[in-house]
Amino acid sequence: MSASLVQQLIDGLAALMLLTSFALLAQHRMLSVLNWFAAQGFLLAATAAVVAYGTDNHELYISAMMALLLKGMLLPWLLWRVIRKLRVHREVEPLMNSTLTMIIALGVTLFSFHIIQPIEKISELMTRDSMAIATACVLLGMLMMITRKKAITQVIGFLAVENSLFFAAIGSTNGMPLIVEIGIAFDVLIAALIFGLFFFQIRTTFDSLEVDAMNVHLIHKDDDE
Amino acid sequence: MSSAFVQMLQAILLLLLAPLAAGFVSTCKARLQNRRGASVLQPWRNLRKLFGKEVVMAEHASWIFRTAPYVVFTATVMAASVVPALLVDTPLSLTADVIALVALLALARFFLALAGMDIGTAFGGMGVSREMTFSALAEPAMLMSIFVLSLGAHSTNLTTMINHTLNSPFALHPSLAFAFVAMLMIAVAENGRIPIDNPGTHLELTMIHEAMILEYSGRHLALMEWAAMVKLMLFATLITDLFMPWGMTLEASPAGVSLALALWIVKLAGLLLALAVIETGLAKLRLFEVPEYLSGAFVIAFLGLLSYYMLEVGA
């Protein structure tokens, strides 16, 4: 495989990454959100493997395997189990209508392209083109966190941000040291488990997974006092 | 062979093959649904039957209602003959501008809408309001997806764009993939196929195209239906032109033209087969979900534009 083909593959994967970030924002059903989230994990693994091949960096193969197992399979499965156990409403409930969200998302992507451009010019890496997309994906994950009502979709947004940061790390530095990456991977896993526990706690305390319910609860408490 | 002759040939072929293409799609659909289905020639027989029948018109129909079929048919055929199908550089290639093409289609749609409202039946008005709502969303998405290609070719002229694609070395272009998906979605919507509109029914509350031409009969109806078939061919040819122009000839030699013709038919058959599979596999969308589908196509096209700038300009 020639270097230019590797670069084209990375560009293609970056474009797909951007697509999954948009798709996560656009989905209406919980199951499809999880499917796209899993697809994002697979894409990350593929990108890591391609970069590992292109730069001859063997540690990245291990990160690729970890991304595949953890982000492509384990996390979506864990979240799906939690969703089924909690019997959450199967529909995602956004705060804004989806067209408006999409327009904001396009604006955010343009913005990140604009701010990354100067950095791209000085970079020598073969993955430099994907940096703007990684930044856009981080911002899109944040957008997902602030435009959803339910705690569970916000957590998926958070995990998507983590995915994009991983992608940014591969793109901008050809991967972090392996020990750091293993540490982050376990952090994310533990975070997902703790979030799972939180969901049950939030539900038993507030009878709902909607984050607004917590505010209402607090206000009522103030009234009582 | 002169290039003018090839131009004529492809325009006539487009006209004659259009009903066959429509028949091919419905036969494929029938086979996929385990039915025998009508022959591929059925749309031709329908057209012949309709041309032979007398025209029944509503009492209050104005001249708009009477002229609309001719305007719609002429505008569509004009748009179709401008699109290069076999030869890259045709005598009409200067007019083969994408924006002009979209304008011609808009002219046809404008008269279709006027005719739909002219009689004042409830169905006509309803169909028109839907058609205009959706086309207002579909048109920018279509232009956006074509602009992705124009960016690389620095032109909105189809001939220049095809030349650019033919001359550039093979590479993976994420932006083109986005543009292609968006264009397919728009083509499905613009031609009133499932999941947007059901072409197989005449009486359904959610119909769009059929609602507009419900009052037509005889040769008027024949022209309207033929125009719709030509439009399907036009979109299929446009997609092959923009995204897979390989095999189109640069000079009008008999060998080149016949090879281009064979490849063109294969490519069209592939696209139409894909359409039949899509129509069989999907259910019609609820009417209020259509704007979301179209804005999705727009977003995908825009992503193509962005990824062109992000990934391909510097590289």
More confident: A85 or B20: B20
Mutation target vs B (from A1, A2, A19, A128; most B CBs, 10 A cutoff): A19
Cβ of B315 and A98 within 8 Å?
A: no
Q: What pLDDT, on a 0 to 100 scale, did the predictor assign at position A218?
A: 60
pLDDT at site B141: 93
From the CA of B1, how many Å to the nearest CA of chain A?
A: 41
Integer Cα distance of B62 and B65 in angstroms: 6
CA distance B146 to chain A (A): 18
Q: Which of A98, A105, A113 sits opposite B309 (nearest CB)?
A: A113
- The least confident of A26-40, A71-85, A210-224, B54-68 is A210-224
Among A11-20, A50-59, B112-121, B296-305, the least confident range: A50-59
Judged by a CB distance cut-off of 8 A, whether residue B9 touches chain A is no
What are B60-86's pLDDT values in tens digits? 889 999 999 999 999 999 999 888 888
Q: Do B299 and A11 touch (CB under 8 A)?
A: no
Q: Do A129 and B311 touch (CB under 8 A)?
A: yes
| Optimal mutation site among B288, B311, B312, B313, interface A, most CBs of chain A within 10 A | B311
**CA torsion sign, B164 to B166 to B172 to B173?**
positive
Q: Output phi, psi for A2, to 5 deg.
A: -80, 165
pLDDT in tens, A190-222: 888 888 888 878 878 777 777 777 776 665 555
Which of the four pLDDT bands, split at 50, 70 and 90, describes residue B197?
Answer: confident
Residues of A within 8 A of B290 (CB-CB) are none
B225/B250: higher pLDDT: B225
Residue ranges of the domains in chain B?
Answer: 3-312
Specify the higher pLDDT residue, A207 or A34: A34
A129/chain B closest Cα distance in angstroms: 5
pLDDT level of residue B315 (50, 70, 90 thresholds)? very low
Facing B306 at nearest CB: one of A9, A26, A110: A110
Residues of A in contact with B299 (CB under 8 A): 22, 26, 102, 105-106
What ipTM score was computed for the predicted complex, to two decimals? Answer: 0.81
Residue B288 at interface with chain A, using a CB cutoff of 8 Å: no
Higher pLDDT, A225 or B102: B102
Q: What is the pLDDT of residues B230-282, one digit of tens each?
A: 999 999 999 998 898 888 888 878 888 899 999 999 999 999 999 999 999 98
**Interface membership of B94 toward A (CB under 8 Å):** no
Residue type, A35: N
Q: What is the pLDDT of residue B194?
A: 84
Provide the pLDDT confidence category of residue B51 given band limits of 50, 70 and 90: very high
Beta bridge partners of A150: A210
Q: What is the pLDDT of residue A139?
A: 94
Do residues B195 and B283 lie in contact, with contact meaning Cβ atoms separated by under 8 Å? Answer: yes
pLDDT for the residue numbered A225: 45
pLDDT band at B128 (very low <50, low <70, confident <90, very high): very high
Give yes or no for A164 touching B (CB within 8 A).
Answer: no
How large is the average pLDDT for residues B54-60?
89
Res A192: pLDDT: 83
Chain B closest CA to A37's CA: distance in Å?
A: 18
Task: Tell whether A108 is within 8 A of chain B (Cβ).
Answer: no
Nearest to A113 among B171, B295, B310 (CB): B310
- What are the distances in angstroms from CA B281 to CA A73, B166, B186, B278, B284? 28, 34, 18, 5, 10
* The pLDDT of residue A167 is above 70: yes
Mean pLDDT across A93-104: 83
The C-alpha atoms of residue A37 and residue A143 are separated, in whole angstroms, by 15
Query: What SS3 class is residue A149?
Result: coil
Residue A219 confidence (pLDDT) = 58
